[in-house]
């Protein structure tokens, strides 16, 4: 810590910061543009000017940029004895006002038609500095805008050249198709030519850009002002990482999603799937009313009452019910289903493979010594070994975290030259493109390959063998691998060496190779690293947002459910938020759905399973429900209902509770709100003991008030439903949470789990996040939301895992079809968003050049494969690095079969 004097008052601040960080962390206001807590300082905008004095005697002082001046003035050249600054100094204030005036010279005064208006950092800073009169009387410079794809809108005239976009996009995010062009007053931020921004993180530009140059194009299509959005804290459900989000709704539609800062999880950033994948909430495929099969065999809309009666008839007289839960439904919804059907008749809704693999991940983390890091901790790993995961496509936000971790080792040099880490440009200049140890072993090429020390392409079995060999190289007590080719053995040694030499080594693996051996090998590596005081860490990516949670609840998978129905142990099947055709071979699912007497589906989207159900109940999406997901980190996190829909949709658990009534269950729990279920969960499962505590209960109030979902400025109070009616409706009640569906309530900062918007007086843009953090860029006041449920046991010393697989043997006449993942396309829900669908690839079969040659097919020519007994014809795509004897099939794209990959198939022309 260091003592600094700000306007003659002493303050204690952390001394590795710059003065801007220190001033903002103290809660004071100081305008800035080019600085960003995650991006560091470059000193471009000159907005954060303050006065620095040599000592108490010095009355003249010198204007310096706070973001470029260390708190520790002994590290200045020449050094000062103390740090004494003034923010209020008249000259400094004048300078800051002038900088805004210059920035405004070319800025169009188009706030009324600008999407950023009302959440604009430039507006905030303009007001903060007091600049309000335009003296410049000449023409402004103008630019041409570019088409940047379905996600991002470009409006260059608004640019104030803070350079944050390119610094985020290129330096932080590793993208290379956005850059700064030209110079002087004409600097231009854009692509080389019109076209889709290629980075999977382009959406963050929306929040990183302090003005309206880069805005959310999907939002534009149904735009409303920030203050007219109804918002609540939420969790992204498009992969397993559990990024925190703030969805914004108006008139029954989700209109945009912003990142909800969580200092341990996603920080400031989301991936584009998470940000732009919300369209399914508004989709035409939504189920809005109960559906019931009519005599003609079709599904027709009905009323809740009518359906209730019908279901009562299915369920009451001793139906042999089973319930199939879902890894994309909340713990609470799954628990309600389990309560309805009974613990021994509840199935976790995962494919057999996923269920087994997720279980394996949980076991490794619970029984072994290696801890799973948070995403923030991933950023500080100094050596990373990825085994089997294509992170960009299976866990995108983790890709962004790893991109930071590869800089850890080289950055150590900066400290030796006394270059502070926040001095971003200087650090990058010193480090150049040097990268720390980073090894990727996957079946297919990944977008991270270009920053890897070495890559290795192989089938899952051979990947596992590499992993086992690395573990053995680290600790001879770990099982060895025989007959490794020399080059692989060498690679294993160099990986082991690099991991051993690092302070914070990390292994990342997961379920996407569908290979338990791969995960066990990863476990061995991490465990072998947990020696000599070193903490080896391991991260397992799992398939979905609540895979971990639902697997903690039940062991039995969809295959087991199919068996139960086939064995006639069940005649009534209740399917919760699940398209079973994504979980098991189509023929088996057909069998289940055809054999069962009654199939009741609860979901929000129409899919093949709901189409075959006898009755379908309209579930609320994440945006119309409250609940809890457990992320791959093992972090349980609460999401809150954003809005109340006009239709019959309600939380799945409420439907299920109604079914309990319909089934005449006398002992049905009297759940009145979500807290009652979480209490039930905690009671039923020791591991869920903390679930009720991850967020304040529904009865929580701040000074007697609820927390509003609408901003204090929500306009047209009496016409919030102006599209329908101008009289003011009574806001819906919310018995499940401390939130109100109105602007009424406590407007100050709530507990971190209940932050529904980042706003603070004078700070309307997302930069208001500063005001919610203990230290800018650090943890939220009161701790980052969520609770980790899975920690290694202290004295864990498990035996190393065994079962080193045999080396992969290609087959004659058949190829092993491997799953290939796509950030835009593989996820069931996000692809329903039109913007995401536009970015998703068409189905294809990836062949390596040898396979293509022996089949005599060229790129784009159609080939036929047979999976799960179904033949499909697909265009071939030549993919040079695929291992011999394999081919690749994209997972989850609409119209593709093949959910039990890898699988062998004959490939024909």
- With beta carbons less than 8 A apart as the criterion, state whether 868 and 586 touch: yes
Residue number with CB closer to other proteins (428 or 757): 428
Residue number with CB closer to other proteins (101 or 814): 101
Give the residues lining the site for other proteins (CB under 8 A): 42-47, 49, 62-65, 68, 77, 94-95, 98-99, 102-103, 105-106, 135-136, 138, 160-161, 163, 170, 176-188, 191-193, 417-419, 423, 425-426, 429-432
The CA distance from 659 to 652, in Å, is 10
- With beta carbons less than 8 A apart as the criterion, state whether 439 and 384 touch: yes
CB of 208 to other proteins, least distance (A): 17
CB of 102 to other proteins, least distance (A): 4
Pairing of strands 635-639, 787-788: antiparallel
770 DSSP assignment: G
The CA distance from 307 to 305, in Å, is 5
CB of 108 to other proteins, least distance (A): 14
Residue number with CB closer to other proteins (213 or 340): 213
Residue number with CB closer to other proteins (429 or 799): 429
Sign of the CA dihedral 802, 807, 810, 811?
negative
CB of 166 to other proteins, least distance (A): 9
The CA distance from 325 to 558, in Å, is 9
Tokens of 569: 């142990």
The CA distance from 542 to 840, in Å, is 21
Residue number with CB closer to other proteins (170 or 320): 170
CB of 442 to other proteins, least distance (A): 23
Residue number with CB closer to other proteins (143 or 607): 143
CB of 482 to other proteins, least distance (A): 40
CB of 191 to other proteins, least distance (A): 6
CB of 193 to other proteins, least distance (A): 7
Pairing of strands 299-301, 291-293: antiparallel
CB of 754 to other proteins, least distance (A): 38
The CA distance from 329 to 604, in Å, is 11
Alpha helices in 417-459 (DSSP H): 424-431
Report in angstroms the alpha-carbon separations of 284 from 239, 287, 288, 644.
23, 8, 10, 18
Which of 76, 305, 454, 273 lies closest to 830, judged by CA?
A: 273
Q: Report the helix count and the strand count for the chain, using DSSP H and E.
A: 26, 37
CA 430-431-434 angle, 5° bins = 155
CB of 55 to other proteins, least distance (A): 18
Residue number with CB closer to other proteins (89 or 675): 89
CB of 21 to other proteins, least distance (A): 16
The CA distance from 440 to 444, in Å, is 10
CB of 403 to other proteins, least distance (A): 16
Residue number with CB closer to other proteins (417 or 670): 417
Q: What is the 3-class SS of 828-841, one letter each residue? A: CCHHHCHHHHHHCC
Which residue is it, tokens 């080396």?
A: 807
Residue number with CB closer to other proteins (416 or 666): 416
CB of 115 to other proteins, least distance (A): 24
Residue number with CB closer to other proteins (5 or 102): 102
662-668, long-range: CB < 8 A, 24+ apart? 662/308, 662/311, 662/312, 662/315, 662/316, 663/312, 663/315, 663/316, 663/319, 663/321, 663/340, 664/312, 664/315, 664/316, 665/340, 668/339
189 DSSP assignment: E
Residue number with CB closer to other proteins (34 or 695): 34
Sequence length of the chain is 909
The upper half-sphere exposure of residue 513, i.e. CA atoms within 13 Å in the direction of its Cβ, equals 31
Residue number with CB closer to other proteins (138 or 812): 138
Residue number with CB closer to other proteins (195 or 699): 195
Q: What is the 3-class SS of 483-533, one letter each residue? A: CCCHHHHHHHHHHHHHHHCCCCEEEEEECCCCCHHHHHHHHHHHHHHCCCC
Sign of the CA dihedral 79, 80, 82, 86?
negative
């Amino acid at each position: 810590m260091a003592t600094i004097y700000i306007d003659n008052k002493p303050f204690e601040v952390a001394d590795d910061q710059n003065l801007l960080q220190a001033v903002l962390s103290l809660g004071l206001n100081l305008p800035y543009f080019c600085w960003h807590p995650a991006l560091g300082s470059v000193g471009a905008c000159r907005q954060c000017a303050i006065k620095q004095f040599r000592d108490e005697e010095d009355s003249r002082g010198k204007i310096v940029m706070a973001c470029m001046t260390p708190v520790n003035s002994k590290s200045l050249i020449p050094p000062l004895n103390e740090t004494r600054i003034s923010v209020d100094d008249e000259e400094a204030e004048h300078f800051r006002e002038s900088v805004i005036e210059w920035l405004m010279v070319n800025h169009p005064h188009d706030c009324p038609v600008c999407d950023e208006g009302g959440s604009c950092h430039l507006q905030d800073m303009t007001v903060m500095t007091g600049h309000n009169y335009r003296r410049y009387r000449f023409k402004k410079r103008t630019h041409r805008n570019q088409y940047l794809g379905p996600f991002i809108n470009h409006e260059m005239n608004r640019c104030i050249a803070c350079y944050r976009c390119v610094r985020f996009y290129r330096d932080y995010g590793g993208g290379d198709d956005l850059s700064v062009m030209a110079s002087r007053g004409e600097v231009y931020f854009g692509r080389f030519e019109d076209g889709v921004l290629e980075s999977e993180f382009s959406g963050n530009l929306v929040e990183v850009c302090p003005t309206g140059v880069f805005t959310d194009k999907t939002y534009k299509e149904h735009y409303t002002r920030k203050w007219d959005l109804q918002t609540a804290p939420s969790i992204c459900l498009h992969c397993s990482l559990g990024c925190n989000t703030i969805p914004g709704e108006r008139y029954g539609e989700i209109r945009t999603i912003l990142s909800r800062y969580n200092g341990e999880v996603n920080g400031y950033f989301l991936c584009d799937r998470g940000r732009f994948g919300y369209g399914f909430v508004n989709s035409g495929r939504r189920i809005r009313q109960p559906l019931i099969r009519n005599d003609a065999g079709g599904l027709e809309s009905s009323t809740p009452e009518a359906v209730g009666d019908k279901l009562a008839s299915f369920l009451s007289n001793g139906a042999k019910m089973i319930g199939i839960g879902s890894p994309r439904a909340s713990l609470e919804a799954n628990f309600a289903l389990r309560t309805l059907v009974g613990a021994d008749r509840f199935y976790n809704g995962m494919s057999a493979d996923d269920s087994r693999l997720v279980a394996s991940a949980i076991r490794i983390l619970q029984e072994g010594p290696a801890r799973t890091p948070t995403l923030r901790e991933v950023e500080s790993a100094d050596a990373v070994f990825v085994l089997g995961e294509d992170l960009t496509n299976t866990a995108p936000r983790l890709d962004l975290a790893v991109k930071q971790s590869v800089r850890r080792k080289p950055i150590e040099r900066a400290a030796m030259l006394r270059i502070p880490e926040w001095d971003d440009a200087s650090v990058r200049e010193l480090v150049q493109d040097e990268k720390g140890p980073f090894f990727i072993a996957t079946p297919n090429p990944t977008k991270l390959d270009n920053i890897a020390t070495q890559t290795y392409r192989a089938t899952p079995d051979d990947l596992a063998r590499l992993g086992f060999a690395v573990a053995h190289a680290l600790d001879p007590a770990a099982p060895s691998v025989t007959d490794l080719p020399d080059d692989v053995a060498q690679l294993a040694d160099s990986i082991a060496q690099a991991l051993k030499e690092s302070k914070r080594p990390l292994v990342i693996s997961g379920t996407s190779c569908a290979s338990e051996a791969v995960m066990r090998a990863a476990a061995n590596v991490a465990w072998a690293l947990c020696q000599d005081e070193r903490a080896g860490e391991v991260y397992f990516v799992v398939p979905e947002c609540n895979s971990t949670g639902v697997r903690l609840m039940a062991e039995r998978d969809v295959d087991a459910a199919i068996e139960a129905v086939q064995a006639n142990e069940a005649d009534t099947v209740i399917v919760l938020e699940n398209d079973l055709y994504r979980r098991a071979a189509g023929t088996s699912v057909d069998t289940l759905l055809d054999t069962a007497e009654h199939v009741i589906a609860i979901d929000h989207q129409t899919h093949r399973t709901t189409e075959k159900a006898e009755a379908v109940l309209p579930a609320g999406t994440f945006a119309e429900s409250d609940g809890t997901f457990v992320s791959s980190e093992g972090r349980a996190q609460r999401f809150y209902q954003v809005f109340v829909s006009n239709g019959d949709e309600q939380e799945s658990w409420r439907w299920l509770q109604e079914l309990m009534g319909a089934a005449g269950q006398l002992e049905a729990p009297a759940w009145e709100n979500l807290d009652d279920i979480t209490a039930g969960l905690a009671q039923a499962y020791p591991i869920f003991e903390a679930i009720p505590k991850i967020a304040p209960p529904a009865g929580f109030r701040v000074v007697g008030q609820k927390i509003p979902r609408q901003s204090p400025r929500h306009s047209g109070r009496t016409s919030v439903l102006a599209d329908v009616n101008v009289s003011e409706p009574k806001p819906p009640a919310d018995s499940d949470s401390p939130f109100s569906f109105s602007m009424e309530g406590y407007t100050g900062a709530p507990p971190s789990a209940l932050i529904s918007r980042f706003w603070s007086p004078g700070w309307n843009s997302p930069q208001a996040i500063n005001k919610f953090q203990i230290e800018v860029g650090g943890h939220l006041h009161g701790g980052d939301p969520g609770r980790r449920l899975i920690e290694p046991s202290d004295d864990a010393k498990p035996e190393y895992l065994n079962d080193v697989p045999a080396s992969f043997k290609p087959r004659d006449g058949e190829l092993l079809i491997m799953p290939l993942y796509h950030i835009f396309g593989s996820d069931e829900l996000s692809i329903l968003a039109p913007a995401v669908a536009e970015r998703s690839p068409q189905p294809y079969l990836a062949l390596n050049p040898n396979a293509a040659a022996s089949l005599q097919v060229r790129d784009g020519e159609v080939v036929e494969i047979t999976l799960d007994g179904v033949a499909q014809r697909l265009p071939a795509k030549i993919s040079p690095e695929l291992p011999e004897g394999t081919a690749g099939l994209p997972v989850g794209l609409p119209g593709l079969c093949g959910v039990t990959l890898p699988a062998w198939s004959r490939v024909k022309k």
